[in-house]
Amino acid sequence: MAEVKQKIIPHLWYDKEAREAAEFYASVFPDSKVTNVTVLLDTPSGDCDVVSFELLGQPFMSISAGPLFRFNPSVSFIVNFDPSLFDASPSPEKAARAKIDEVWGRLSDGGAVLMPIDKYPFSERYGWIQDRYGLSWQLILTDPEGDPRPPIIPSLLFVGENCGKAEEAIESYLSIFRNSRLGDLIRYGAGREPDKEGTVMFADFMLEERWFAAMDSARDHNFAFNEAISFMVNCEGQEEIDYYWEKLSAVPESEQCGWLKDKFGVSWQIVPADMDEMMRSGSEEQIERVTQAFLEMKKFDLAALRRAYEG
């Protein structure tokens, strides 16, 4: 069975740009590369590129599967620029600032600024940018004296009817996923209208060794969670697939090809860890058989996928 190095992997849905975007991000961030491209033939969206890549050493996946979903700021990626990572420089903080500004400049090309890069009460250097593909990034100069965090953290923004549910969501996820714990939790105080006192201004939490962040926002936002960004959960067998499916799926009409939506609208993919190896190492005929098999499924049937692979 394939070794799972990362249990939960962010997955990005593009119209046609998955490979192009992965190559762009790999050129923007250090310690980044495209690791694999597989083409799924004859899907409802036509032939689809499935791209595996690493950013700052962390795994991501993406797919080109048509203009069905668009990125929005309900899920963004916090990128931590920690001066301690630049200890080889004569001035680590200056080097970290230079790198954050360089990355900001690259992501700004064709993008849109959501919060200008500047000094804020919570950071000496921070900005929120939507890149040319619509994906949102929060770049932050982190305090090297703080608790260590990975370089990239997916961040969930609870808005609209979800506003005020960030803490409930965190508690739910912590109860479902193993190897999990709460990190920081900072609440809005009085006088922060329209945000309600006591709701989550910022929190982070770890699920299966993967850090996430979450926050509530009562401001007027015209977006919500959707399938453009989902989280793949690599499972070691059918029992684990069944467990996560039962615990997370809350929208039956959204169940398809291993995808589900939880009660907050966040999308997850519950997949067998073996499937990555099948799609990377299989022949064109094996990949085609597996693809046609899973297109007929809602929750994945691992035994049926293995039979399809083996022919």
Reported confidence tier of residue 280, pLDDT bands at 50, 70, 90: confident
Alpha-carbon gap, residue 294 to 260, rounded angstroms: 14
pLDDT of residue 161: 95
Alpha-carbon gap, residue 13 to 19, rounded angstroms: 11
Reported confidence tier of residue 5, pLDDT bands at 50, 70, 90: low
For 293-303, how does the pLDDT look when each residue is reduced to its tens digit (9 = 90+)? 998 999 999 99
Q: Are 155 and 217 in contact (CB under 8 A)?
A: no
pLDDT of residue 278: 87
Alpha-carbon gap, residue 230 to 225, rounded angstroms: 9
Go through the domains of the chain in sequence order and give each one's CATH number. 8-65+226-310 (3.10.180.10), 75-216 (3.30.720.110)
Element at 199 (helix H, strand E): none
Average pLDDT over residues 145-160: 92
Alpha-carbon gap, residue 131 to 52, rounded angstroms: 20
Helix (H, G, I), strand (E, B), or coil: what is residue 149?
A: coil
For 80-90, how does the pLDDT look when each residue is reduced to its tens digit (9 = 90+)? 999 888 776 78
Res 48 pLDDT > 60: yes
Alpha-carbon gap, residue 44 to 135, rounded angstroms: 24
Element at 116 (helix H, strand E): strand 112-120
What the block records as the tokens of 61 is 């996946």
The pTM score is 0.94
User: How many CA atoms lie within 13 Å of 161's alpha carbon, on the beta-carbon side?
Assistant: 5
Residue 15's φ and ψ, nearest 5 degrees, are -70, -70
What the block records as the tokens of 237 is 């067998």
